[in-house]
Amino acid sequence: MNIELKDIHFSYGPVKALDGVDLSIGEGACGLLGPNGAGKSTLLRILLGFLRPGRGEGRILGRDILHDQFAIRRLVGYMPEDDCLIPGLDAVTFTAYFGELSGMPRQEAMKRAHDVLFYVGLGEARYRLIETYSAGMKQRIKLAQALVHDPKLLFLDEPTSNLDPQGRREVLELIKDISSKKDIQVLISSHILSDIEFTCSNVVILNKGRVAAQGEIQALKQVDYSLYEMKIKGETETFIRSLRQGGCRVEETEEGLLKVYMPPGLQRDGLFRIAARENIQIRHFVRSQTSLEDLFAKTVGVD
């Protein structure tokens, strides 16, 4: 396990931000979700080796969070949500500078800065001043400075904010590529659930200072093995009737989606036989799962 936290508490004066957090994060990219004010930024500060918890213990990449905070910060790369730059610098100098501050020797930092800038897609623009960069480019340079020192834990805070659809896709692909390496633990905090679903295999949902849910997304989504969603083209009414005669429960939503609950006796192929017989086209057919959004809503317990 790359990150293990046991019973973490933290208060800012009288305000309790974390109220007993137990976390276990291992391989694969992990999404960090939670309503605003749930304690995500506090948790982030503890994970970055920035704060000492009031109570509790834990290890991040094998380092003790109470005593080895500096060592943790050496291993962590942080991509902040806000824009941040140093005016008057070009991309290479900027990236190499922060590599140096992380403890890389000067020449190594420079060499690595070039590599990383190419990787994030800023190769051609790397000698230009950062102030002249577009929003998408600024996002990438934040990623570059987080990667320059080859961190073992990468924390991305809203990595796709301010990006247009093309930029979003490219950054998400980059994140997916980085996550595929076995020795980087990637942690992504985002409110855009489709981004989390695309890049992460695991998720942690925080609420009111506690972990409300954690685990593999697929496992949490609770696949219902006998409920299917389908879209068809053809004689809908007759098809639905035939399905019902076969023992299925069928619901039709307003968007034309059919929700079919199959009784234990019936197999999938029975459904397809009925469709073949009645000349029905099946244009969409999936097992029903709770969406990540529903999971979030259920876990956070509102509405």
CB of 1 or CB of 135, closer to another protein = 135
Which residues in the 127-146 window bind another protein by CB under 8 A? 134-136, 145
Q: How far is CA 280 from the centre of its chain?
A: 38
Given candidates 17, 61, 92, 147, which one binds another protein under the rule CB under 8 A?
147
CA distances from 160 to 44, 143, 290 (A): 18, 11, 24
CA distances from 109 to 52, 86, 226 (A): 30, 17, 55
**Total number of residues that touch another protein (CB under 8 A):** 89
Q: Does residue 35 come out as left (phi exceeding 0), alpha (psi in the -120 to 50 range) or beta?
A: beta
**Binding string, 28-57, against another protein, x = CB under 8 A?**
-----xxxx----x--xx--x-xx------
Taking CB under 8 A as the binding criterion, the range among 21-29, 164-172, 245-253, 257-265 that sits at the site for another protein is 164-172
CB of 168 or CB of 221, closer to another protein = 168
C-alpha closest to that of 86 among 17, 145, 27, 12: 145
Which 3 state secondary structure label does DSSP give 296?
helix
Provide, rounded to whole angstroms, the least separation between the CB of residue 256 and another protein: 11
**Residue 290 binds to another protein (criterion: CB under 8 A):** no
Cα–Cα dist 15/63, whole Å: 28
**Residue 124 binds to another protein (criterion: CB under 8 A):** no
The token pair at 49 is 């080796």
The token pair at 272 is 């397809």
Taking CB under 8 A as the binding criterion, the range among 155-163, 208-216, 218-226, 258-266 that sits at the site for another protein is 155-163
Give bridge partners of residue 9 from the DSSP assignment. Answer: 19, 55
Q: Does residue 262 come out as left (phi exceeding 0), alpha (psi in the -120 to 50 range) or beta?
A: beta
CB of 24 or CB of 170, closer to another protein = 170
CB of 24 or CB of 89, closer to another protein = 89
Which residues in the 75-114 window bind another protein by CB under 8 A? 76-78, 80-89, 93, 97-98, 100-106, 108, 112
What phi and psi values does residue 282 have, to the nearest 5 degrees?
Answer: -100, 110
Provide, rounded to whole angstroms, the least separation between the CB of residue 26 and another protein: 19
Cα–Cα dist 297/299, whole Å: 6
CB of 106 or CB of 244, closer to another protein = 106
Which residues in the 180-209 window bind another protein by CB under 8 A? 181, 183, 191-194
Residue 298: half-sphere exposure toward Cβ, Cα within 13 Å: 10
Given candidates 14, 15, 67, 165, which one binds another protein under the rule CB under 8 A?
165
Provide, rounded to whole angstroms, the least separation between the CB of residue 48 and another protein: 6
Which residues in the 233-272 window bind another protein by CB under 8 A? 233, 267-269, 272
Taking CB under 8 A as the binding criterion, the range among 58-66, 219-227, 257-265, 274-282 that sits at the site for another protein is 274-282
C-alpha closest to that of 230 among 258, 272, 249: 258
CB of 1 or CB of 118, closer to another protein = 118
